[in-house]
Amino acid sequence: MAGDRRSISLTRRSALVTLGSIAGSALLNRSSYAADKLKVAGVYSVPVDQQWASRLHIALKAAEARGDIVYSWSESVANTDMERTIRDWAEKKPQLVIADAFAIERNARKVAADYPKTAFLMGSSFGPTDPNYSVFDNFIQDASYLTGIIAGGMSKSGVIGMVGGYPIPEVNRLMNAFMEGVREVNPKAKFFISFIGSWFDPPKAKEAAYAQIERGADLLYAERFGVSDAAKEKGVLTIGNLVNTQPQYPNTVVVSALWHMEPTIDKVIAKLKEGSYKAEDYGSFSMMKFGGASVSPLGTFEGKVPSEIMAKVADREKAIRDGSFVVKVNDTEPKSTV
């Protein structure tokens, strides 16, 4: 019975699709234009307003606004449901599927193998898999390092607090680079590090930040929402991560290390259009050299950061861009040094 019903509905659906496309092409005659646009599907385990996913979402939205792609997405997909959702989208024959596959590395590779004609661009801690599974990650350690230098120059007490979600490589890497930057200016700097065991619990992140401020931290690394709120209330400074949060906290956020997904997305779209796409590691397109990372403008803090510190930042940035200085990628869990 169930089979019967399905076949009926399928027929009905395909009839509707046929009718619709006839009507559409007759009315608009724009089918050739539509064919130029790539169909792209995004699948995220977090809401699109989460810092990490928002960077992908914004880049894809921009590509859609340019007219390069048609973009649809699913958000807040539980990791247990991720494989099925990716498969559902792959069934719709898009040219490109983008997802965060950190928790389902093996399953995502299985799905990709089943749809060899579709390109998969996955947030992953591992390498690419032939023929179609490419990877990317937030390799913005360059920017984190530079904001660390600014943090080192701005902290008077030399005690810096850091509140993170979970110590996974994507988080640790940026924290370690930031700490490296701080030590560049203040080798004696001390760090408080807390993990709250959740991506979304701002009240808890706020409590952790309060506790760090109480113990003398006068500058916080705001990896989670909630940290800058605590800092604003207590009158201490923060450094933003991935997104620029200075507009919301103009007197609190000194500077942010920004991630730009546009270079990665644009590169993949270009390769798909010219037919040269293959499984690759796109991680480097998130680095400063390729425009994937940057230090936000100082904005409201213009002139408040010591000039010798900004000179050092400019100097290091130049060295990073021309390749004469490389920020270490260190994925180990950072520990408190107090």
Task: Give the count of beta carbons closer than 10 Å to the beta carbon of residue 215.
Answer: 12
Cβ–Cβ < 8 Å for 190, 337: yes
Please choose, from the candidates 176, 181, 149, 150, the residue with its C-alpha nearest in 3D space to the C-alpha of residue 162.
176
Give me the 129-168 binding string for other proteins, x by CB under 8 A, dash otherwise. --------------------------------x-----x-
For residue 262, the minimal CB distance to other proteins (Å) is 14
Query: Both tokens of residue 114?
Result: 């089943």
Identified binder of other proteins from the candidate list 106, 117, 156, 335, rule CB under 8 A:
335
Closest approach, Cβ 249 to other proteins, in A, equals: 10
57 scored as a contact of other proteins (CB under 8 A): yes
Positive or negative torsion for Cα 105, 111, 115, 120 = negative
* Cβ(268)–Cβ(96) below 8 Å: yes
Neighbours of 75 (CB within 10 A): 15
Would you call 245 helix, strand, or coil by DSSP? coil
Least separation, in Å, of the C-beta of 336 and other proteins?
Answer: 6
The interface region with other proteins, picked from 122-130, 211-219, 259-267, 268-276 by CB under 8 A, is 211-219
Nearer to other proteins, 201 or 281 (CB): 201
Part of the chain binding other proteins (CB under 8 A), chosen from 52-60, 81-89, 123-131, 266-274:
52-60
**Residue 42 lies near other proteins (rule: CB under 8 A):** no
Residue 58 or 113 with smaller CB distance to other proteins:
58
Interface residue with other proteins among 36, 91, 214, 308 (CB under 8 A) is 214
- 219-222/237-242 β-pairing: parallel
* Cβ proximity to other proteins, 111 vs 205, nearer residue: 205
Q: How far is the CB of 220 from other proteins (least distance, A)?
A: 12
Q: Min. distance of Cβ 215 from other proteins in angstroms?
A: 7
Tokens of 234: 């207590």
Cβ proximity to other proteins, 133 vs 195, nearer residue: 195
Task: Give the CA dihedral 317, 318, 322, 328, nearest 10 degrees.
Answer: -30
Contact track, other proteins, 244-273, x by CB under 8 A: ----x-------------------------
Tokens of 78: 């539980």
| Binding to other proteins, residues 170-209 (CB under 8 A) | 192-204, 206-208
Q: Which residues of 285-319 are buried (b: 16+ CB within 10 A; e: fewer)?
A: bbbbebebbbbbebeebeeebeeebbebbeebbee
Q: Which residues contact 49 (CB under 8 A, 6 or more apart)?
A: none
Stretch that binds other proteins, among 50-58, 62-70, 106-114, 265-273 (CB under 8 A): 50-58
Q: Rule CB under 8 A: is residue 338 a binding residue for other proteins?
A: yes
Stretch that binds other proteins, among 26-34, 51-59, 123-131, 324-332 (CB under 8 A): 51-59
Name the one range near other proteins by CB under 8 A: 32-40, 53-61, 135-143, 321-329: 53-61
Half-sphere exposure for 282 (CA within 13 Å, toward CB): 30
Short-list 209, 178, 298, 294, CA closest to 246: 298
The nearest distance, CB 1 to other proteins, in angstroms, is 27
- Whether residue 335 contacts residue 176, with contact meaning beta carbons closer than 8 Å, is answered with no
Chain residues binding other proteins by CB under 8 A are: 46-49, 54, 57-58, 75-76, 161, 167, 192-204, 206-208, 210-212, 214-215, 225-226, 229, 248, 335-336, 338
